[in-house]
Amino acid sequence: MKIAILSDTHDNVAALTRALPGLQAADVVLHCGDVCSPFTLKRLAAGVGNTPVHLVWGNNDGDRRMLAEIAAQAGHVHLHGEFADFALGDLRVAMSHYPEVARAVAASGQYGLVCYGHDHHAHEERLGATLLLNPGELAGVLTGRATWVLLDTTTGKTHWHTV
């Protein structure tokens, strides 16, 4: 399975548009928060077709009511709230926007993949059998790099993309 992981889009529709061809190659898309505006979520949902999207809230996600409405209308966007805990096949996944939450969850050893965002710093680390991953920022405003990650669960390899 190929899992696209992104975070902190912050309404950078141009970067999102550049990332979409790569995201379309994934079997599932994970967004670790701070999509920000409903129009950005709508663009993401439409841009990946029927590929499932899993999303957690970030601290800058504004109109949560409209974001939830867009997720429901799309049908393939799963809005988990502040924390996500779900399975993708045999892989147990957790998502939070916040690094300190993600690190504590990853340290529990209960998940194969724990993803987070918030600090905009790309990070990949193995804690036992758990992959702790921050895909960096798709916005590209704090670090100057708009990044996302494609994880191949068959090989266990991550492929970092800059758009």
Give the sheet arrangement for strand 147-152, strand by strand.
Answer: 77-79, 53-55, 28-31, 2-6, 147-152, 157-162
If pLDDT is split at 50, 70 and 90, which confidence band does 93 have? very high
pLDDT tens-place string over residues 20-31: 999 999 999 999
Mean pLDDT of the chain: 97
pTM value?
Answer: 0.97
- State pLDDT tens for residues 54-83: 999 999 999 999 999 999 999 999 999 999
Tell me the pLDDT tens digit for each residue of 109-130: 999 999 999 999 999 999 999 9
